[in-house]
């Protein structure tokens, strides 16, 4: 068995307090670890902050992707645990955004030795409506998303790529970062989209045993407040914080409030 180089596979980046409590940030579908950039400076003042890219996203090792491992969320959860093992992380506060909220749930349920707390940012255990459950989408909606990806990725493979325009207002963003940000391999992204939006992890919520914070936005087109409430009801003893923010990415639209909620939760009851 060849040893996997987890650090380069997942482009693992560690910043902040080397001996502080560990916060592991897992990005969601459609982007990469740079999605956290507005909250990292504040978190790094108190914690050791570990960032990474899911395989297929950002600067991860694309050659490590395989349809077998990554056709379910479990493969991604194993990657999270690999990172914990590789860095020998303990008592981790695992913060998962969007689909990574469920990846975080699966990781915490699979190995209870390393993950102490979960923060689920705009989670959804199931995006598709099912009986009385309202995930917010129909199967046809998800097919439409895959279609939408196809029409955009058709562009990506040719000259009509979505243009990332120059940003004179943010000279601090290096060109390399600008280039790599949110770039995903089209084929991988399509599979990831399928896995993300067609997974049903509602039954996994009841197995969560670690303290959990659910962080949602008041106006979220992807994970409506009712879904956040559903998650909170299913995870025993979990807390729900609803930010007065718009969109699916509070770490972008309301970074201060997001940091405040994570800090308050991470620091309660921890030695």
Partner 1 sequence: MRREAGDDLTGRDDEVPRPGTSDPAFSALLEDSAEDLYEHAPCGYLSTLMDGTIAKINTTLLGWLGHHRDDLVGRRRFVDLLTVGGRIYHETHIAPMLGMHGAIGGLALELRRADGSRLPVMVTSVVKTGPDGTAQLVRTTIFDARDRRAYERELLRARQEADRDRERVQKLATTLQRTLLPPRLSTVPGMDVAAYYHPASADEVGGDFYDLFPLAGGTWGFFLGDVSGKGAPAAAITSLTRYTLRAAAASDPDPITVLRVLNTVLHHEYNGTDPRFCTVLYGVLTPTADGCAIEMATGGHPPAALLRADGGAEFVDIPGGQLVGALPDAHFAGTRVRMSPGDTIMLYTDGLTEARTRGRVRHNEEELLEFLATVGPTTATGAVAAVTGLLRRFGEGVDDDTALLALSLPVGTARP
Does the footprint of partner 1 cover residue 33 (CB under 8 A)?
no
Instruction: Give the span between the Cα atoms of 123 and 127, in whole angstroms.
Output: 10
- Would you say 81 and 110 are in contact if contact means Cβ atoms under 8 Å apart? yes
Would you say 113 or 138 has its CB closer to partner 1? 138
- 220 catalytic, yes or no? yes
Instruction: Give the span between the Cα atoms of 247 and 216, in whole angstroms.
Output: 10
Does the footprint of partner 1 cover residue 120 (CB under 8 A)?
no
Instruction: Give the span between the Cα atoms of 33 and 15, in whole angstroms.
Output: 13
Phi first, then psi: what are they for 234, rounded to 5°?
A: -80, -25
259: its two tokens: 């940091």
Instruction: Give the span between the Cα atoms of 230 and 227, in whole angstroms.
Output: 5
Selecting among 60, 98, 124, 238, the annotated active-site residue is 98
Q: How far is the CB of 141 from partner 1 (least distance, A)?
A: 4
Residues 6+ apart with CB under 8 A from 76: 54, 55, 70, 100, 103, 106
Does the footprint of partner 1 cover residue 98 (CB under 8 A)?
yes
270: its two tokens: 């921890």
Quick one: which of 124, 160, 148 has its CA closest to 234? 124
Quick one: which of 165, 188, 206, 16 has its CA closest to 93? 16
Residues 156 to 185: which contact partner 1 by CB under 8 A? 160-167, 169-170, 173, 178, 181-182
Q: How far is the CB of 270 from partner 1 (least distance, A)?
A: 30
Does the footprint of partner 1 cover residue 228 (CB under 8 A)?
no
Tell me which stretch binds partner 1 (CB under 8 A): 11-19, 48-56, 145-153, 230-238.
145-153
- 248 catalytic, yes or no? yes
Does the footprint of partner 1 cover residue 206 (CB under 8 A)?
no
Q: How far is the CB of 185 from partner 1 (least distance, A)?
A: 14
The residue within the footprint of partner 1, chosen from 33, 34, 199, 212 (CB under 8 A), is 34
Phi-psi group of 126: left, alpha or beta (phi > 0 → left; psi -120 to 50 → alpha; rest → beta): beta
Helix, strand, or coil here: 26? strand
- 97 catalytic, yes or no? no
Would you say 169 or 176 has its CB closer to partner 1? 169
Would you say 41 or 237 has its CB closer to partner 1? 41
Q: How far is the CB of 140 from partner 1 (least distance, A)?
A: 8
- Would you say 215 and 119 are in contact if contact means Cβ atoms under 8 Å apart? yes
Tell me which stretch binds partner 1 (CB under 8 A): 83-91, 101-109, 136-144, 230-238.
136-144
Contacts with partner 1 by CB under 8 A lie at: 28-31, 34-35, 37, 98, 137-138, 141-152, 154-155, 160-167, 169-170, 173, 178, 181-182, 197, 219-222, 246-249, 252-253
The residues annotated as belonging to the active site are: 98, 220, 248
């Amino acid at each position: 068995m060849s040893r996997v180089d987890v650090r380069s596979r997942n482009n693992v980046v560690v910043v902040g307090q080397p001996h502080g409590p560990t916060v592991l940030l897992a990005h969601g579908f459609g982007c990469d670890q740079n999605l956290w950039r507005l909250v990292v400076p504040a978190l790094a003042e108190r914690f050791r902050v570990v960032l990474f890219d899911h395989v297929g996203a950002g600067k991860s090792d694309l050659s490590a992707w395989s349809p077998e491992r990554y056709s379910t969320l479990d493969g991604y959860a194993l990657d999270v645990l690999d990172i914990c093992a590789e860095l020998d992380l303990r008592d981790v506060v695992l913060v998962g955004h969007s689909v990574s909220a469920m990846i975080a749930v699966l990781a915490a349920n699979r190995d209870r030795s390393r993950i102490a707390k979960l923060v689920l940012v705009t989670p959804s255990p199931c995006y598709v409506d099912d009986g009385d459950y309202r995930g917010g989408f129909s199967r046809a909606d998800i097919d439409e998303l895959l279609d939408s990806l196809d029409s955009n990725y058709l562009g990506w493979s040719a000259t009509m790529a979505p243009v990332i325009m120059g940003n004179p207002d943010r000279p601090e963003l290096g060109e390399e970062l600008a280039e790599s940000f949110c770039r995903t391999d089209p084929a991988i992204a399509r599979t990831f989209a399928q896995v993300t939006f067609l997974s049903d992890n509602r039954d996994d919520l009841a197995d969560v045993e670690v303290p959990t914070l659910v962080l949602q936005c008041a106006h979220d087109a992807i994970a409506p407040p009712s879904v956040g409430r559903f998650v909170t009801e299913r995870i025993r003893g979990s807390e729900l914080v609803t930010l007065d923010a718009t969109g699916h990415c509070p770490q972008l639209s309301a970074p201060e409030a997001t940091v405040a909620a994570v800090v308050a939760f991470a620091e309660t009851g921890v030695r």
